Amino acid sequence: MKKLILSLVVLGTVAAGARAASASYYVEYFRDNLFAGLAYHRVGCMTDWTTIQSNQDYDGFTNNRYCNAGATAASVPNASWYTYEFLGDSFADAQNRLNSCGNNTNSSYGTPDYAASSNTCGYNIFTNCNSDCWIRYFSTCMGQTVGTISPCFGYHYP
């Protein structure tokens, strides 16, 4: 009986180790809820589920920083986790996809280099010019549209 328990423990450890050994990458989405209302800023960070993998915030319409490389992926400063997308086991491929979609979204919303203000539309929580719509477009580009709550009137994804 003792041997059986020991074997199970060893097997469990090996299985967990095998899982940890093959790094996988994700975009995890966080939301900063302001003042307990329905005002959110949303941001995507690249993670390996344990730590954040880059300093790039995938968001628009703010200068605030959320994604800090090396920090725990379970949370980002002042924001809570809300969903994720699996990006595969290649760091380079995952990062290329993220940056490509980030650039596409920046072009669409006039937020070059993830700017805090658009140079093509006036910020409006009801229309297609806010961080909800930005992250909707970005996540759609990534392949899995995340939930948002701005109606984004005028939204169009090619």
Partner 1 sequence: MRYALVLGAAALAVIALTQIGSTPATPPAPAPSVAAAAKVMPVRPRLPPRPGDAPPPAMDEPILPTATPEQRADIAERARGAARPGMTAFRAFSDLYVDGNLDLARRQAESEGLTLDQVRDLTSFGLMVLATQRVSDVEEIVGRSLTEEQRETLSALMISANGEFKEKLRALVAAGASEAERWKLIRSTQSEYLIDFYAATGMNDDLLDDLLAGNVNLPGAPASTQPPEGPVPPASPVDTDLHPERPR
* Span near partner 1 by CB under 8 A; candidates 2-10, 40-48, 51-59, 95-103: 40-48
In 3D, which of 151, 158, 157 has the Cα closest to residue 130? 151
In the complex, least distance from residue 120 CB atom to partner 1, rounded to whole angstroms: 7
Is residue 68 part of the contact set for partner 1 (CB under 8 A)? no
CB 109 within 8 A of CB 129: yes
Is residue 122 part of the contact set for partner 1 (CB under 8 A)? yes
- Angle in degrees, CA 104, 88, 69, rounded to 5: 70
Between 1 and 18, name the residue whose CB sits nearer to partner 1. 18
CB 137 within 8 A of CB 118: no
Question: Which three-class secondary structure state does DSSP give residue 68?
Answer: coil
Binding residues for partner 1, rule: CB under 8 A, are: 19, 24, 26, 28, 31, 33-41, 48-50, 61-64, 74, 77-78, 80-84, 86, 115-129, 131, 136, 140, 144-155, 157
